[in-house]
Structure 1
Amino acid sequence: MLALTGYVDRFSAAPSGTLAFKVSSTLGEDYTADLVRIRCADPNPAGPGMKILPVDIPFGGRFPSRFQPVHLGSYGRIDTPAALTDVPVLTLSAIIWPTLPGRGPQAVLTVGDPDGAAGVGLEVGPMGATLRVAGNGTGALATGVPLAARSWYRIAATVDRRAGTVRVSQTPLDAARLGLKPAEATATLRLPEPPGGGVMLAAAPGADGPVARHYDGKLEAPMLVAGTLDAAGAPGGTVLAAWDLGRGIDGVRVEDLGPGGHHGVLVNLPTRAVTGSRWTGNEMCWRHAPDEYAAVHFHSDDLYDCGWETGFSFTVPDGMKSGIYGARLRCAGHEDIIPFYVIPAPGRPTAKVLFIGSTYTFQAYANHRRGNLDEAFRKRIADWGAYPHNTDDHSDYAHSTYNRHPDDSGVALSSRLRPILTMRPGYLTFNDPRGSGLRHFPADSHVTDWLEAKGIAYDVLTDEDIDEGGAEVLKPYAAVLTGSHPEYHTPGTLDALEGYTAAGGRLCYLGGNGFYWRIARNPDLPGVIEVRRAETGIRAWAAETGEYYQQLDGGLGGLWRRNGRPPQRLAGVGFSSQGLFEGSWYRRLPAADDPQVSWIFAGVPEEIIGDFGLSGGGAAGFELDRAEAALGTPPGTVVLASSEGHGPSFIPVFEDLLSHVNTLHGGTRDRLVRADMIYADLPSGGALFSVGSITFCGSLAHNGYANPVSRILENVVRRFAGG
């Protein structure tokens, strides 16, 4: 873990709003916290440089260091278990789909503390289904037959106090997996006192607090029976507890259908809305057949809320300027800056221009571990004085929706209630030979520094603010600007932005690969977003068949395009091509000289635009968007410029390909590899200006902001802001 770090309970607050900062320090002296304004977060000495500016507002102070741990791994906790003191024969049973059965002991269903004085645990491990009984040291009874990964089994263990024997069994349930056979084992063990209170799913009680032996895989129908099971798994005695994991899929409650109503809760957000042992394939949506989705996928590295105590709080004073700020922590030579946004008071904008912090995208990529941290990259980080910590070195705070769990399943849920290393000033994503290698939060500071350099007043709001406030919070602004990569959106954020332009608003989309993935939220689980990488698209992993619908809201996950809302419908352009993190240029088209749009190029005589920049060396690169009338580009849209000169790594997005030669909307594959810079006057009186490239904003600062890219954007923003 980092020696000094923290997180904030919300990304933004308005005047009179309070933010709580959660801090962990392993250092032996007090830490200090002061307030800074984050204007530019690019440490590249060839650019504007880091601009972290002190703010003279009462903030923070000196606080005692204290270490606050992180406990990874999801599990279920039943706090009011059935009384077992008068149960001479106890059976533990569950249906499982183990994903790492050979890794080591993993608890599936635990009663009491099998590592202490009284308790039993039904587990899986390298030797198959296993029963662990308190008082028998580390020894346990196993079937001796390894389980096959990603296959359904019923496992059970019976403790017979009258006979002094124990039995454990595993029964394969997947008829399509040929060669899997049932197995069982029986033994005489020293039986302890009847287990006391406490039942856990997918983990075991830890010796000193944190749980242990996390289970990786799916779990269905855990059950406790006073008696035995028959050959079909039906209880032959009294059911003490039977938890139906198909109920309340959109939440964290665990419901017991047994007579005692021993309900529980899921901790650290395991994945729900996953196919169970009874899934037929006839329904793809869990809402229509919850019995077929009555399983939970647990992971040993899941994390929801670190749960740290508050180190200090800050109430935003009246009159504080809207913008991007940071709580700067310092102690014994260590430093960390926790970013946050100060937004205007409701209904009281302070500028005509609004900049949107793409916090849903930052959260989707939070702690993205890329595996690209070699010695040359480390040297650049050190030489530039960049943010010194990289996620390749740190797994402590969980990873992004671009990573996989230890069992190779994709990470679908991401929380902001944890330290986010990638959302720090100076964080380098790539060792970019032609630029800075920034993405997301630090990359978007290219826009805010440009606004400051040009003297353009602006307010800020985050995705979450817009999701909660709707189009009404955008309505006061003459112009709304995105950052370089507004990729992830809920129905609420798209509704707000579409409502804004439909009411006459003017939108500047300054990135690429925007408005691409649909994500979900749930008001009962604040701080969490969910993405299901369904069917197609440029993806880091693919959702399992039948698991395309999101657990948090029940909506179809995947691309917004598959939900009937292509990016072109909102922004005029949509994702068309991706390649390496390298940039080329735009070529101005004849349509740009039309008097209706020629004002955009006032003072820009160049035909080649943006063959320079701090992101890949050019304004058109990495991820490219194009106009496409068939996907919703508004009638009358003018394509002002298109990119060219892209390298061999660039490919069309998969959703545009029908075969190795045919594309969905005609034209050649090569023609899909381009970024379109467009302008559209909308029937509402609003307007669109979109650049179609993730690397565009990295070119703004070239030559002290005196360059064609900067001039084009200034012409547009000043025109939009002036009405």
Structure 2
Amino acid sequence: MSIQEYRPPGVIGYVTPLSARPGERLDFKISSLGDRAITAKVVRLDCCDPNPLGPGLKSEQVKFGLSAVYPAREQKTHLGSCAFGALPTIPVTQDLTVELTVRPGFVSATDQTIFSLQDIAGTTGVALIINDGGLFLKNLQSPTQPQSLDLSLKLNVWRNLEVCFSDNGVIVRTSTVETSKVAESRLIAGLGEALRDVDHICLAALWNGHPKDCFNGTIEAPGLSVASPEALETGRTIIAQWTFTDSGNSEWVSDDIDPSRGLQLINLPMRAVRSSSWTGRHMDWKVAPEEYAAITFHSDDLSDCAWETTIAVTVPDEVPSGVYGLAVENDIATDTIPFYVLPGASAQRQKIVFLAPTFTYIAYANHARGNFAGPLEERVKDWGAYPHNPDVVGTFGYSTYNRHPDGTGVTISSRLRPIMTMRPGYLVYHDLHGSGMRGFPADSHLTDWLTTKGFTFDVLTDEDLDREGVDALSPYDVVLTGTHPEYHTRRTIQAILAYRQTGGRLMYLGGNGFYWKIGRDQDFPHILELRRAEGGMRVWASKPGEYHNQLDGEYGGLWRRNGIPPQKVAGVGFTAEGNFEGTYYVRTEESFAGELAFLFEGISADERLGDFGLSGGGAAGFEIDQACAELGTPEFVTVIAASEGHGPSFETTYEELLTPGVIDGGPRPYGGMRSNIVYGLDENGGGLFSVGSITFCGSLSHNGYDNNISRLLENCLRKFLSTPRGGGDAHAPSSTDTNPPIGSHSYDS
């Protein structure tokens, strides 16, 4: 199969919400090519790694009361944002003028609609479009070519537009914001007939039941006026006007003339952006809303596919908490849509909870990396891995690691769309030493290990934690993170800190965690927002003055710049990254203290820890963290191991540096190009075990789960489980402990 021969997914879908308790409903929204009927079953997802040299894909069917066959239809996705709404009655005997200020962000040889005056269906009316920088008027009823205005707009330059419609013709004027230099164009042919049934306006697109011919750029201060002898000063009466100053409203814009009437914002265009009057004196849109009275639209914005529900499922009472998938199939394709079952409201909690980093999955959702063609594509085919890749399928929007057509970064990501990167068997890299997985499938290395070792556990998601706070974690003795819990809200960070401070034990089993701060609005639980403010390893940077979120108004960027460095949360923080390759750890001198001997039971004193694995070939790699007392590493933790042997691709993160090679802060005992593993029990009973590496969990299954990384993790987990919260010494597991006792497995290093 080559990219050129690639076909759209034969069947694909998404679920809302992403997690549910027994008795709650999940809505699966599925598109089946050619309206083919589908079959469906629920499976528990244990291992999502298709590597034939690893455990392999593991899943087990679960009874969910599903029917055998479901009717399904092909459902379309429409990208692009716009503002659409009803207009007041326009007197047909009076001239109509539309005024607005625009800044094109992308010039192309395709039609981009700046505004349309139209009926609700988009079959009659007129649209002002830009094509190759030139302005044109399009009669929506006429199949002929748009009429050129012999006027142009320059890329990234603010221009005022005035379009006056009358029976005598159309006058279009443009002027620069800085100099007010005016250019004018007149069309003799009137458009009175085209405007006769106009009752709606659409900004930044033509509305055909969905956005079409979308504009990539920024619009501010649109307004409509009509000729009026009563308006003595200007001779015009304003009948509709939108100032766009309320940047915190992501759903609609009210009409200043009649606040009961507004424009609906489709697909969450970007607000809290600089307008033409931005002075640079104010960096927060809430302080000077008049300097942020603009909206930026993109032709690839997507907040909600808005598909119809194909299968509605109520989670059965007897289903335990865990990671599941709805496996759907038609006669040409299959798809597995992951979801999570939370513990029942009255169910007894397990001692362990896996905190699924779903915010990070959504931030990376449909990340088009440009690396699929060639060896990775061939590996996907050879391994029977998940076949669809955002490099090829751009239908479902992109990630916060991609850019819009105007070159700016994608700030909004949604779970109400198929997420190809969140699928069993999805491969990210052609990893010469492993599987090349990240995110959702890579985290199954941990959950598969827990299941194989006989540890029972519950599951919560970031979204659940953000909604419920620390109460969601309080019942558990141990919280396990995934391999890359990078994105967090203030509520999730504070909940984890509060959990630790009340005696909870956190096992951070990844790297580059607790790094970026995201914005959320509880009215849009499916959405997260990212502003990449000052500092950080980033693929794009927010513009100065646009560091505050539109969803919650808070300053974005790194948690380190928001007062909570990762070290305060997990004991270690992001310090370096390189290629997707792994190396090993060696024990520190401090690790040989007698009170830490239990951690290394069954492990030789001089052996390398994790010089193997399915993620880059080693347990320490790709993105690595280390302890730093100045940034908040607690006094009660000890660095018990540090990595070595990282290759030349590894570089120190930017926020660590004052100038190239000069670290911000004092020397660290195990600093440099190293990952640190830390362990400690606080006097309040709280505990930390952090591995500081994204690739760590990829080593757990090596040699049939019989290896020193697996042993180290099990030794620590059993210590945390056997030590009562609130302090005290380790004790033997009770007769009611559902997890097997320590020593029940033999190990070779």
- Provide TM-score, normalisation by structure 1: 0.95
Please report how far the alpha carbon of residue 488 of structure 1 lies from its aligned counterpart in structure 2 after TM superposition: 0.4
Instruction: Name which of 110, 115, 124 aligns with 1:109.
Output: 115
Compute the displacement of 1:102 (Å). Answer: 4.0
1:225 is aligned to 225
Structure 2 match to 1:86: 92
In the alignment, what sits opposite 2:646? 646
Residues 1:149 and 2:155 are matched in the alignment: yes
State the partner residue of 2:616.
616
Q: 1:172 aligns with which of 168, 176, 199?
A: 176
Question: Structure 1 residues 500 and 115 mapped into 2: Cα distance closer, same or farther (>3 Å)?
Answer: closer
Helix, strand or coil for the counterpart of 1:377?
helix
- Displacement of 1:346: 2.9
Describe how 1:320-399 pairs up with structure 2 within 5 A. 320-346=319-345, 348-399=347-398
Q: What secondary structure is seen at the aligned counterpart in 1 of 2:491?
A: helix
Report the 3-state secondary structure (helix = DSSP H, G, I; strand = E; otherwise coil) of the residue aligned with 2:716.
Answer: helix
The 2-side partners of 1:348 and 1:408 are apart by 49
Q: Which amino acid aligns with 1:318?
A: D
Counterpart of 1:170 in 2: which secondary structure? Answer: strand
Per-residue Cα deviation, 1:613-664 (whole angstroms, up to 9, x for no partner): 0000000000000100010001132100111101111000000111123221
**More moved, 523-532 vs 58-67:** 58-67
How many Å separate the matches in 2 of 1:496 and 1:688? 15
- Does residue 212 of structure 2 align to residue 203 of structure 1? no
3-state SS, counterpart of residue 43 of structure 2 = strand
Tell me the distance in 1 between the aligned counterparts of 2:619 and 2:234.
66
Q: Contact 1:169–1:182 (CA<8 Å) still a contact in 2?
A: yes
Q: SS state of the match for residue 600, structure 1?
A: helix
TM-superposed deviation, 1:138: 3.6
In structure 1, give the amino acid aligned to 2:204. Answer: A
Displacement of 1:142:
4.2
The CA distance in 1 between the partners of 2:589 and 2:67, in whole Å, is 56
What's the CA shift string for 1:299-353, capped at 9, x where partnerless? 0011111111111111111121111111000111411000001110235343111
Spell out structure 1 runs of 4+ moving beyond 6 A. Answer: 114-117
Q: Which residue of 2 aligns with 1:591?
A: 590
Segment drifting more, 39-48 vs 119-128: 119-128
**Structure 2 CA distance for aligned equivalents of residues 597 and 127 of structure 1:** 68
Question: Residue 87 of structure 1: CA displacement?
Answer: 4.6
**More displaced 10-residue stretch of structure 1: 430-439 or 164-173:** 164-173
Cα distance in 1 between the residues matched to 2:87 and 2:302: 25
Shift of 1:159: 1.1
1:186 partner letter: R
Measure, in 2, the Cα distance between the counterparts of 1:294 and 1:573: 41
Whether the aligned pair in 2 keeps the contact of 1:114 and 1:121 (CA below 8 Å) is no
Q: CA deviation at 1:27?
A: 3.8
2:56 paired with 1:49: yes
Q: In the TM superposition, what is the alpha-carbon distance from 1:514 to its structure 2 partner? A: 0.1
2:669 and 2:696 mapped to 1: Cα distance? Answer: 23
Instruction: Give the stretch that moved more between structures: 235-244 or 216-225.
Output: 235-244
The offset of 1:552, in angstroms, is 0.4
Q: Distance in 2 between matches of 1:704 and 1:483?
A: 21
Q: Which residue of 1 aligns with 2:677?
A: 677
Alignment of 1:177-192 (within 5 A): 182-192=182-192
Q: 2:510 corresponds to which letter in structure 1?
A: G
1:267 CA drift (Å): 0.4
Alignment pair present for 1:40 and 2:42: no
- Deviation of 1:156 after TM superposition, in Å, equals 1.5
Closer/same/farther in 2, CA of residues 630 and 235 from structure 1, 3 Å limit: farther
Q: How far, CA to CA, are the matches of 1:684 and 1:418 in structure 2?
A: 43
Structure 1, 513-522 or 664-673: larger mean CA deviation: 664-673
Given that 1:241 and 1:262 are in contact with CA atoms closer than 8 Å, whether structure 2 keeps it comes out as: no
Once the 2 structures are TM-superposed, how far is the Cα of residue 505 of structure 1 from its aligned partner? 0.2
Give the Cα–Cα distance (whole angstroms) in 1 for the partners of residues 437 and 284 of structure 2.
Answer: 38
The C-alpha deviation readout for 1:257-312, integer Å capped at 9, x for no partner, is 12575312100111111111111111111111111111111000111111111111
SS at match of 2:272: strand
Give percent identity, aligned residues only: 46
For residue 3 of structure 1, what is the aligned residue in structure 2?
10
Whether the aligned pair in 2 keeps the contact of 1:619 and 1:696 (CA below 8 Å) is yes
Name the structure 2 match of 1:545.
Answer: 544
Q: Tell me the alpha carbon deviations over residues 92-115 of structure 1, each in whole angstroms, 9 at most, x when there is no partner.
A: 111111111344332222112599
Q: Which residue of 2 aligns with 1:19?
A: 26
- Tell me if 1:124 matches 2:130: yes
Please state how far the C-alpha of 1:395 moved relative to its aligned partner.
0.2
Residues 28 and 133 (structure 1 numbering): CA distance in 2 closer, same or farther, change over 3 Å?
closer
| Letter of the structure 2 residue corresponding to residue 217 of structure 1 | G
* Counterpart in the other structure of 2:694: 694
Report the Cα distance in structure 2 between the residues aligned to 1:267 and 1:117, rounded to whole angstroms.
19
Superposition map of 1:511-590 within 5 A:
511-590=510-589
Q: Which residue of 1 aligns with 2:737?
A: none
- Aligned partners of 1:130 and 1:168 also within 8 Å: no
TM-fit CA distance, 1:187: 2.2
Given that residues 149 and 187 in structure 2 are in contact (C-alpha distance below 8 angstroms), is that contact kept between their aligned partners in structure 1? no
Question: Helix, strand or coil: the match of 1:495?
Answer: helix
Distance change (3 Å), C-alpha of 1:67 and 1:299? same
Match of 1:68 among 67, 75, 80: 75
Asked whether the 8 Å contact 1:585–1:620 carries over to 2, the reply is: yes
Distance 1:645 1:182, change over 3 A: farther
Report the Cα offset of residue 134 of structure 1: 5.0
Any conservation in 1 of the 2:486–2:515 contact (CA below 8 Å)? yes
SS of the residue aligned with 1:93? strand
Shift in Å at residue 220 of structure 1? 0.5
Of the candidates 38, 48, 65, which is equivalent to residue 58 of structure 1?
A: 65
- The residue number in structure 2 matching 1:629 is 629
Deviates more, 1:342-351 or 1:564-573: 342-351
3-state SS of paired residue (2:583)? strand
Residue ranges of structure 2 left out of the alignment (5+ in a row): 1-7, 724-749
Distance 1:465 1:564, change over 3 A: same
Separation (CA, whole Å) in 2 of partners of 1:293 and 1:551: 11
Structure 2 counterpart SS, 1:271 = coil
What RMSD over aligned residues (CA atoms) do the two structures have, in Å?
A: 2.1
1:659 aligns with 2:659: yes
The amino acid that maps onto 2:43 is V
Give the whole-Å Cα distance in 1 for the aligned partners of 2:654 and 2:706.
38
CA distance 1:384–1:235, change in 2 (3 Å): farther
Alpha-carbon distance between aligned partners in 1 of 2:30 and 2:78, rounded to the nearest angstrom:
15
Deviation at 1:470, TM superposition (A): 1.0
How far apart in 2 are the matches of 1:235 and 1:310?
52
Q: SS in structure 1 opposite 2:391?
A: helix
Contact 2:584 2:643 in 1 (8 A): yes
Q: Given residue 541 of structure 1, which amino acid in structure 2 is its aligned partner?
A: W
**8 Å Cα contact 1:304-1:414 kept in structure 2:** yes
TM-fit CA distance, 1:19: 0.4
**1:60/1:314 contact within 8 Å kept:** no
Aligned partners of 2:124 and 2:401: how far apart in 1?
42
Q: Which residue of 1 aligns with 2:473?
A: 474
Moved more, 464-473 or 620-629: 464-473
CA distance in 2, matches of 1:595, 1:184: 85
CA distance in structure 2 between the aligned counterparts of 1:647 and 1:72, rounded to whole angstroms? 41
The unaligned stretches of length 5 or more in structure 1 are 229-233
In structure 2, distance between residues paired with 1:133 and 1:670: 69
Does structure 1 residue 158 correspond to structure 2 residue 164? Answer: yes
Aligned to 2:216: 216
Amino acid at match of 1:506: R
Aligned equivalents of 1:674, 1:658: Cα separation in 2: 19
One-letter code of the match for 1:76?
Answer: A
Q: Distance in 2 between matches of 1:313 and 1:270?
A: 30
Q: Secondary structure at the match of 2:659?
A: coil
Quote the Cα distance in structure 1 between the aligned partners of 2:123 and 2:397. 33
Evaluate the alpha carbon distance shift between residue 695 and residue 174 of structure 1 in structure 2; reply closer, same or farther with a 3 A threshold: farther
